[in-house]
Structure 1
Amino acid sequence: MTKKGGIKIIGQNKKARREYELLDFIEAGIVLTGSEVKSLRAGRVGFKDGHVRFERGEAYLVGVHIAPYENAGYAQHDPERPRKLLLHKREIKNLMGKIEQKGLTIIPVKMYFKNGKVKVELALAKGRKLYDQREELKKRAIARDTARELAKYK
């Protein structure tokens, strides 16, 4: 966990930028239990198959794994349960419209503490094809090699 100007980062979805083209970002609050917050303070979160699902006009974060807190005793939480996101109705309607029209998805990119509250940074994303991922890796390798060659001559 790192601290950046009042924001303490809990975890980041490192695969998101590789597997998706991220178009737009939005910050959302999240409804958690006490043992989940304790576990997050220890940095025990996994974004593996995380995405946002809409049900009855509300947004839920699904597929994000928050590990059980060891000292919670009998009051353990389900690590994979859907968690309600705190967004305004107009934000939810806007996101629902974008998803239905353009075939996009919403994925969690980052989770952090901001002023003592847990926040999730969500991204409106478009899935990349395998060949797009390979092209991106080739571009990065070429840029890295040219930078290395230029550094030799300085």
Structure 2
Amino acid sequence: MKKKKNITLKSIENRRASFDYQLNTPLTAGMSLKGVEVRAIRDNRVSLKGAFITIRNNELWLNNASLSFKNTGEGKSETTIDTSPKKLLVNRKELDKLALEKQAGMTIVPIRILSGGRYIKIVIASGKGKKKFDKREALKQKQSNRENAKLLKSYR
């Protein structure tokens, strides 16, 4: 019997997504990548800030996610930033559900990239944009939770 390796999932999060959108249930999708893109993600040289997902020709595309990889040529060491669209892999049912939500006026945003196992996956969710007062309310709630936690910690 083969022994299974302990795989720890490394994830790169888009923390602005939950602040800017009221997110629905998340969905995990695969990514179609090249070798240098895989290496950049595994080395945590990726940013999801400002990234969004579109549906073109019945396919999901991740747009505006920046991957930076190092070009090491003849004595050169340069960093290239790539923001080209990446194809996402989902089932037809999931794609149809996302297309209906997109038509209803929702935005599809990436939440996190999982890169611990053999495959690189992306967690996406559809969501409705929050208004400014909703964001302020969320900040107030977060601040009060922090203060309550501090008080509880001081009583122990």
Give the TM-score, by structure 1 length: 0.85
CA-to-aligned-CA distance 1:99-118 (integer Å, 9 cap, x gap): 112x1111111111253111
CA distance in 2, matches of 1:130, 1:142: 19
CA distance in 2, matches of 1:72, 1:134: 49
Give the fraction of aligned pairs with identical amino acids, expressed as a percent.
Answer: 27
For structure 1, which runs of at least 5 residues remain unmatched after alignment? Answer: none
* DSSP 3-state at the match of 1:15: helix
Partner of 1:9: 10
* CA pair 132-63 structure 1, distance change in 2 beyond 3 A: same
Write the mapping of 1:1-154 to structure 2, written as runs, cut at 5 A: 6-71=7-72, 79-101=82-104, 103-154=105-156
* DSSP 3-state at the match of 2:114: strand
Give the TM-score, by structure 2 length: 0.84
2:121 corresponds to which letter in structure 1?
Answer: K
Q: Give the C-alpha shift of residue 72 in structure 1.
A: 7.4
Q: Give the C-alpha shift of residue 143 in structure 1.
A: 2.1
- How many residues get paired? 147
CA distance in 2, matches of 1:54, 1:107: 12
CA-to-aligned-CA distance 1:55-84 (integer Å, 9 cap, x gap): 1111111111111233478xx987111111
Q: Give the C-alpha shift of residue 33 in structure 1.
A: 0.7
* DSSP 3-state at the match of 1:49: coil
* DSSP 3-state at the match of 1:69: strand
CA contact (8 A) 1:10 1:40 kept: no
CA distance in 2, matches of 1:78, 1:60: 18
CA-to-aligned-CA distance 1:39-70 (integer Å, 9 cap, x gap): 11211001111111011111111111111233
Moved over 6 A (4+): none
